[in-house]
Copies of this chain bind each other. A is one copy, B any other.
Amino acid sequence: MPAKNKLSLKPPSGAEALPLYRQVKRELQNIMEAGHYGPGKPLPSEASLARDLQVSIGTLRHAVDELVHEHVLVRRQGKGTFVAPHNRARFMFQFFHVEPRWDPEDDTPKEPEFPDIQCMAFSRDKADEAEARALRIRRGDTVLRIENRLALHGRVVMHDRLALSGAMFRNLTEKRFSERPSTIYALFQTDYGITVLRAQERARAVAAGKAVARVLSLPAGAPVMEVHRLALTFGDRPVEYRVSTINTQAHDYVSMLSKAP
Interface residues of A (CB under 8 A from B): 66, 69-71, 94-95, 99, 101-102, 104, 129-130, 133, 197-207, 223-225, 228-229, 246, 248, 251-261
Contact A71 B258 (CB under 8 A): yes
Q: How far is the CA of A11 from the CA of B64 in the complex (A)?
A: 31
Contact B129 A94 (CB under 8 A): no
Q: How far is the CA of A251 from the CA of B206 in the complex (A)?
A: 12
Contact B198 A257 (CB under 8 A): yes
Contact A255 B70 (CB under 8 A): no
Give the residues in chain B near A202, CB-CB below 8 Å: 99, 101-102, 252-254
Copies of this chain, whole number: 2
Q: Which residue of B lies closest to A245 (CB)?
A: B205
Q: Which residue of B lies closest to A66 (CB)?
A: B261
Contact B261 A70 (CB under 8 A): yes
Contact A255 B255 (CB under 8 A): yes
Contact B257 A94 (CB under 8 A): yes
Q: Which residue of B lies closest to A65 (CB)?
A: B65
Q: A203-B203, A229-B257 are known contacts; what are 10 more A-B pairs with Cβ within 8 Å?
A: A70-B258, A70-B259, A198-B257, A199-B258, A201-B257, A203-B254, A204-B248, A204-B252, A206-B223, A223-B224
Can you identify 17 A-B contacts, CB atoms within 8 angstroms?
A66-B261, A71-B258, A94-B258, A99-B202, A102-B202, A199-B256, A200-B254, A201-B255, A202-B252, A203-B203, A203-B225, A203-B255, A204-B252, A205-B224, A206-B223, A207-B223, A228-B252
Give the residues in chain B near A228, CB-CB below 8 Å: 252
Q: Which residue of B lies closest to A253 (CB)?
A: B203
Contact A257 B206 (CB under 8 A): no
Q: Which residue of B lies closest to A226 (CB)?
A: B205
Q: How far is the CA of A198 from the CA of B198 in the complex (A)?
A: 21
Q: Most B CB atoms within 10 A — which of A200, A205, A252, A253?
A: A205
Contact B253 A204 (CB under 8 A): yes
Closest beta carbon of chain B to A163's beta carbon, Å: 15
Give the residues in chain B near A95, CB-CB below 8 Å: 257
Given A70-B259, A70-B261, A257-B95, is A225 in contact with B199 using a C-beta cutoff of 8 Å?
no
Closest beta carbon of chain B to A254's beta carbon, Å: 5
Q: Which residue of B lies closest to A200 (CB)?
A: B256
